[in-house]
């Protein structure tokens, strides 16, 4: 439901908005408020306005995210298709947080900058990739970050060098709490546009062959433990194809949970719990969850 925006704020403020529309699993209850900014300056104005009910959540494509069936108390800020500027800034590539990783990879290739091809395999936005140090096929987001722009709950912008952040496997420690990424400068080597484009094509073909892209999912459910793969552990535990409600451990890639139709968030959360407990019991490995879970139970 759309409502009139506050004075000087030009984005869209939606009340009681079903989050299933904004998550890659296509599940989730209603958010009290969801704001779609008109741009970075509008986002600043909104965060300074009286319409922000805390807590605040920033989401992009809604991948790597499970919103519980009871929905979200507070405010969700939608970044996808909002902050989408990409440009060369001297020798650096600048991209805003709402840019999809796939588009970022193609832009860098077109500009003959190499080292960003792996972004094509990440099913999310740059903001999400920065927040969790997303990666695939041996490369990670923070390997190429020069500096970032963040925004806080007061609408204040800060530019910070990559050295201010501690990035580890699928985790980034923020120097200050209550800040979100709105853009980043990437340090990439000069390369060959044609060669980078071919790498992207090869990576996408590999992804299509190995991942269940025909069904709603959220990417990898668990992080890979040191020296092993979560998918292998889940598969040898006999869980491929296991179903709870409308949620299934993918038969194509065991570290993916797919919505085979009619799943709700509780189905998925119970399946995640069952996978964790079964792998621990049968293999003695406590998998670390990669999927972020927010919201309240129905």
Longest Cα–Cα distance of the chain, Å, equals 58
Nearest to 33 by CA among 57, 63, 60: 57
CA-derived radius of gyration, the chain: 19
Q: Out of 96, 117, 269, 290, which one is annotated catalytic? A: 290
Judged by DSSP in three states, 43 sits in helix
290 is catalytic: yes
Nearest to 65 by CA among 245, 296, 290: 290
Q: Out of 220, 237, 250, 269, which one is annotated catalytic? A: 220
Task: Tell me the residue length of the chain.
Answer: 298
Q: Out of 170, 207, 223, 232, which one is annotated catalytic? A: 170
Determine the Cα–Cα distance for residues 223 and 155; give it in Å rounded to an integer. Answer: 33
Determine the Cα–Cα distance for residues 120 and 116; give it in Å rounded to an integer. Answer: 8
Q: Exposed, middle or buried: residue 54 (CB in 10 Å: 0-12, 13-18, 19+)?
A: exposed
Determine the Cα–Cα distance for residues 248 and 221; give it in Å rounded to an integer. Answer: 12
Sequential DSSP letters for 53-73: PSSEEEESS-TTEEE-TT-EE
Determine the Cα–Cα distance for residues 163 and 161; give it in Å rounded to an integer. Answer: 5
Determine the Cα–Cα distance for residues 25 and 12; give it in Å rounded to an integer. Answer: 24
Determine the Cα–Cα distance for residues 119 and 65; give it in Å rounded to an integer. Answer: 18
Q: Exposed, middle or buried: residue 284 (CB in 10 Å: 0-12, 13-18, 19+)?
A: exposed
Angle at 188 between CA 112 and CA 96, to 5 degrees: 95
Which residues does the annotation mark as catalytic?
Answer: 170, 220, 290
């Amino acid at each position: 439901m759309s409502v009139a925006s506050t004075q000087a704020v030009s984005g869209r403020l939606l009340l009681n908005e079903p989050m299933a529309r904004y998550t890659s699993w296509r599940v989730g209850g209603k958010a009290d408020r969801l704001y779609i900014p008109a741009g970075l300056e509008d986002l600043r104005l909104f965060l300074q306005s009286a319409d922000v009910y805390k807590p605040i959540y920033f989401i992009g494509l809604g991948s790597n995210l499970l919103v519980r069936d009871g929905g979200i108390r507070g405010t969700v800020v939608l970044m996808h298709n909002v902050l989408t500027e990409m440009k060369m800034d001297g020798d650096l590539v600048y991209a805003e947080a709402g840019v999809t990783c796939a588009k970022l990879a193609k832009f860098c290739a077109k500009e003959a900058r190499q080292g960003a091809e792996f972004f094509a395999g990440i099913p999310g936005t740059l903001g999400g990739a920065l927040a969790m140090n997303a990666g695939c096929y041996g490369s990670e987001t923070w390997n190429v970050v020069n500096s970032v722009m963040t925004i806080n709950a007061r609408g204040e912008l800060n530019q910070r060098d990559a050295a201010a952040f501690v990035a580890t496997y699928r985790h980034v420690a923020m120097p200050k709490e209550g800040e979100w990424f709105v853009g980043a400068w990437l340090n990439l080597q000069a390369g060959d546009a044609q060669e980078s484009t071919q790498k992207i094509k090869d990576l996408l073909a590999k992804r299509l062959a190995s991942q269940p892209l025909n069904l709603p999912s959220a990417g990898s459910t668990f992080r890979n433990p040191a020296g092993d793969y979560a998918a292998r552990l889940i598969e040898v535990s006999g869980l491929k194809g296991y179903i709870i409600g409308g949620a299934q451990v993918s038969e194509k890639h065991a570290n993916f949970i797919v919505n085979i139709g009619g799943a709700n968030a509780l189905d998925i959360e119970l399946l995640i719990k069952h996978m964790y407990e079964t792998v621990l019991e049968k293999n003695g490995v406590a998998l670390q969850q990669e999927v972020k879970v927010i919201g309240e139970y129905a």
